[in-house]
Structure 1
């Protein structure tokens, strides 16, 4: 990075329904493409953004961080003004929430120490939740699924829940939270880990639903993990219910 430039983190949020995920693709519209276009127009220069991770087609993000190198912006008020300018050009379903100056080597992907997701389910048909939550007519056994979810905790090989043929060096992840929350006719699965494999959360939810709806024993989750066989896990639930909700860095105050 040049000495006359500064690295910034952008905190963004988006509804992923209209996009083929976060990452720029050759033949599909992505969130990153729309963000880069808006920034290029405002700044009148090409920009290269790097996100905390990729989200798949139709997946949403309540919080995702992106890093980018820009000319130095000395005043906080100018950063606020710049976020307003970006938002004015972005579509309604993508928002830049704030810009944060960081050190020159800060990396949105590699410096993240944990990530959190939610998976949303509703059991009463609701037109206002279409494409924002996954509709299941039958209500699963939440107590049973919560007991089963405890088998996900800790440092384990989660290859059974990974999409095939992904380019990763290891399937080891450390899960620190895995629980279901009931709010009326809605269910939310909360999961936090140091890293996630592709399709991991949707496959985990599908496996837990086999316990809660299809009569699989509570021990089924542990058996799937031990098998290292994706075919033993449940089907991937629809993308519309999945939200990236929090990304943690040692040098970012997420409460600001």
Structure 2
């Protein structure tokens, strides 16, 4: 058996193993939580500490927290990646320091981010336990992922693109907007999906920043319970809450799947329109 055949089998085996684990988890959650999902469950507020009622306010709070996190982290991450790849020498001390710092941040436990968010956003900035504090804390968590994936995506674009743009007299900003960023779109979308996935499933950081309140938020300065916290609370602190915890977990998976699908579809549609326009 050749080395190529062995490598192919290993790759397929790894892919099938990961897929199998995911399907086992998904089937278990669906079988345990699907019966509890209904329209009233999706729009009504929780009752009896979550044993009854729905998760309407919790879905809204989760969406607002994710919106704050991605709206804050995405432009900062993209700008930092552009700075590191297009306006800074790759072997410079500054670029090396920033990249090592990002690697350290990516490995910090989420509970540490939660303590930082509580000290800085909740107490020092006076935002208190709020959706805004939770979203900004999650933005700090996903920034390393967004920056690193965007950086690698931009660096993977062939230098021929840059040389061709310079030959045609295009400015660096024009080349970035019209050539480099479109070519790096798959990596940018992958980083965005990873960031949304981590932010949507985060629990520890939000306990210290967004709070436990399960009512409908009136503004970003209101406390809001995310779905991940709701699942944790029902599973660990509420007797008889396992059924609704499984239903909430299934809703969270569906939301993340829909966000990923819509983002990929929009990116593909945008790329198709650009190709047609060219």
Name the TM-score class by shorter chain: under 0.3
| Structure with greater helix share of residues | 2
Q: Which has the larger share of strand?
A: 1
TM-score by length of 2: 0.24
